[in-house]
Structure 1
């Protein structure tokens, strides 16, 4: 039997993550809480969200809507009506008019998330529409790239993007040439590690 030899070049390398980091549901839930809900997450290109469009997206297990009004302003909200919790947008994408109207009881919100109408319902005398707006989500447009952050107080966006390396690129003028979406049955770290490995 031969003895396994290890390279002295690897002495400085830390141990890999335990298998639970890739398989355990509780570990993943903690990553969602500590990573995906605290940081800016890419949500798409501005030119792929035409004015007058509402798009449903998911970030860190949260069902959200990304809205671009007729004037081009982008907002994001939790995809939940404040009345009975119905989903405001069940489709992947749909036209957005002046109002975001719930399909259940027709509560209507403007594109800033303010409650405008309770439709047929007659609220109590102490009901204040200002207290029942949609739950906003932070959204930023960086050179035509849209980012969303679920944190109450989001971190700064720019420092993580390596702006100086992109100074000579016309980032805002870029358009999507092709999109490929694939679902891979793996933990996000498997895909990320493979992508970042220099051999690939």
Structure 2
């Protein structure tokens, strides 16, 4: 279970009728995972120990191999669809070795473009917040492109002789929008095979209604640690009541986690405080009711933790900038676009508890672990029975690296 903060009961908050979304049925798989959990007071944890070499986190050659075989090969979950909520919008996403412009054209179709003008290679936009416009104009010489990347205008075109604009559109990257997530391949010569985005995962995200969620906030963190150490934090609940003892830890208890592979991705299902099967049976009809009694945490391989709290989600994207440096973008997605001030305040409080308190504790622990590993004293890291998802994750990463 990842670090997730319980919400206050909406019963104490004035919520307008249009701020409560219609009931959504959970997927059969989500219900089955929840039903597999024992009552909290009957939990029995598996007992085992496996080990991972510390080189997976600190070796430069290993980092370079992961960049080639994972980040330049797999479809990457770059952002939620909610980042580009409206047609006619675009945004710059830096990371993974090159800058990308994500756009949603006037017809609502998403495109991914290399952020490089075909004239002299300059960055076309620096907007890291969504902007609206019919054209994207390079600030260097004002070559302009539409939101599909087509070259539309060249100032003083006559000085270029026989210039064929149709051949000078921005370089496109393979891109697809599934399950409310924008997936992009960083190699512009890659094929259009997006089978990595498994049907099982999409079914769960469709049940959650991710595509219809509202982007409440976007926060950026710079962490002096390896990207996998940060992701590991969201693959186990062993740390929650210990690392977060001064913040959110007292709100939790140790619970057994059900771990399922959804094609090339992972789902962890864990019980909330006081969970019993009787309580579950009363909350199975809608996915939002289900989220009141269990927490779903999805790992989108290779680099994203997607955490489902009661009425909001956090999508944390790990962007490796070096073996020991990572940029983390935290997208906070709410079930609806809040109109009432009380509902906005409620989610502002949740944002502060997660992004302001709990997540920084996770990031600091990851950085401290990286520093400790670079001493060379600890050759192996241990995984125990409350860290089952970590074992699955690293097995899957090794499988992907081996076959790439």
* TM-score, L = length of structure 2: 0.42
Paired residues of 1:54 and 1:68 also in contact (CA < 8 A):
yes
Alignment counterpart, residue 183 of structure 1, candidates 217, 222, 226: 222
Q: State the 1:165 CA deviation.
A: 4.3
Pair 178,85 (structure 1): closer, same or farther in 2 beyond 3 Å: closer
SS at match of 1:38: coil
Match of 1:4 in 2: none
Matched, 1:34 2:69: yes
Q: State the 1:134 CA deviation.
A: 0.6
Q: Measure the CA separation in 2 of the matches of 1:56 and 1:31.
A: 24
Larger RCO, structures 1/2 (Cα 8 Å, 6+ apart): 2
Pair 22,113 (structure 1): closer, same or farther in 2 beyond 3 Å: same
Task: Answer 1 or 2: which has greater helix percent.
Answer: 2
Q: Matched residue pairs, number?
A: 188
- After superposing the two structures, state which structure 1 stretch, 115-124 or 27-36, moved more: 115-124
Paired residues of 2:83 and 2:130 also in contact (CA < 8 A):
no
Q: Measure the CA separation in 2 of the matches of 1:37 and 1:170.
A: 29
Match of 2:210 in 1: 171
SS at match of 2:234: helix
Match of 1:116 in 2: 152
Paired residues of 2:100 and 2:115 also in contact (CA < 8 A):
yes
Paired residues of 1:46 and 1:144 also in contact (CA < 8 A):
yes
Q: Which runs of 5+ in 2 are unaligned?
A: 1-46, 240-404
Q: Measure the CA separation in 2 of the matches of 1:166 and 1:87.
A: 33
Q: State the 1:166 CA deviation.
A: 4.8
- After superposing the two structures, state which structure 1 stretch, 90-99 or 54-63, moved more: 90-99
Matched, 1:45 2:108: no
Pair 82,26 (structure 1): closer, same or farther in 2 beyond 3 Å: farther
Deviations 1:154-185 (CA, angstroms, capped at 9, x unpaired) = 43243275345456433332323454432221
Match of 2:195 in 1: 156
Deviations 1:100-123 (CA, angstroms, capped at 9, x unpaired) = 221111112222212222212422
Q: CA RMSD in A?
A: 2.6
Deviations 1:22-73 (CA, angstroms, capped at 9, x unpaired) = 2233432221111011112222222232333221102411111111233322
Paired residues of 2:179 and 2:206 also in contact (CA < 8 A):
no
Match of 1:107 in 2: 143
Match of 1:145 in 2: 181
